[in-house]
Copies of this chain bind each other. A is one copy, B any other.
């Protein structure tokens, strides 16, 4: 590997000059610049990121900390992040935390040691204090999807509460008379916001009782279990708003197993817009978050901060969208699955 010295020698100039043409900051004589460029090409010179980093430059590396890339919600986000990063010549470290505080902490340390430039994080655990070392090290952080604090950090999230309202209103619009909600764990801001959206609407109705809310884990199994309980406790439910798509998927499975017709007996609406909801029979109506765009927006915000193009912290709340599919199209004839 050729070094900057080799280039300098080959071009007959000083190391400093070569550095100047690499960084394009200071003025360099056009002719000298050409000589240097030629020398760089001939030697296939590639600056060492390490050395630049040590000398105080950015590494063009960010980290993306998510609970679990194998959860279908995250790959889209990750792709959005990585695409933008790629576009701006950044690389991204993938960090799976499993939403475990100790893994997150351990990563935060490592990332500092490795001189990453910035962090995009999705976490329920992390707080001001844990991020303090990054603040000290001047490493900007963007909170994605689940902000714990919207004052001191840039945040990218979607409008969960509105989405929930849209979901419930849609179920009402198609004629549902008693709508249950499968809520995610309360430790998720997103779960809380969606529950609040649901409650905001249904609490005006006389049929509403708190037992229409069933909490469950944000996964398929959670959806199944919740449905079982819900159906046992409330014989006349005719609509379910699931707090995320995975739970909706589980709910659908279980409803079919229990012999319920979806949507005619019970209509179902999910939240997230992951592609799995298009594969079921019937397909699942859902509140679509702009997942990819959220990742992309987070990455863009972070990179602009790193480049100094943004200094203030800002909140980006992206809009969600109701996607109507078979699971709420009552009375429509669907092709049989078996």
Contact = CB atoms under 8 A, between A and B. Distances in A.
A68 interface: yes
A237 to B, nearest CB: 18
A338 B83 contact: no
A109 interface: yes
A114 B60 CA distance: 9
Contacts of A69: 69, 75, 78-79, 82
A46 interface: yes
A93 B93 contact: yes
Contacts of A96: 79, 82-83, 86
A282 B338 contact: yes
Which residue of A51, A72, A279, A292 has the most chain B CB atoms within 10 A of its CB atom?
A279
Nearest to A283: B253
Interface in A88-108: 89, 91-96, 103
A234 interface: no
Band of interface residues on A: 35 or more
Contacts of A86: 96, 103
Interface in A174-230: 220
A259 B96 CA distance: 43
A70 interface: yes
Contacts of A292: 70
A114 to B, nearest CB: 5
Interface string A13-27: 000000000000000
A76 interface: yes
A279 B276 contact: yes
> How many identical chains are in the complex?
2
A336 interface: yes
Given A46-B113, A280-B279, A336-B338, A76 B70 contact: yes
Contacts of A334: 337-338
Contact of A338 (B1, B47, B75, B281): B281
A232 interface: no
A173 interface: no
A53 B68 CA distance: 29
A2 interface: no
A206 to B, nearest CB: 31
A1 B335 contact: no
B256 A336 contact: yes
A65 B91 CA distance: 12
A259 B92 CA distance: 46
A61 to B, nearest CB: 7
Contacts of A280: 279-281
Contacts of A83: 96
A119 interface: no
Given A49-B114, A257-B335, 8 more contacts: A46-B112, A54-B54, A75-B75, A78-B94, A86-B103, A92-B94, A256-B337, A276-B276
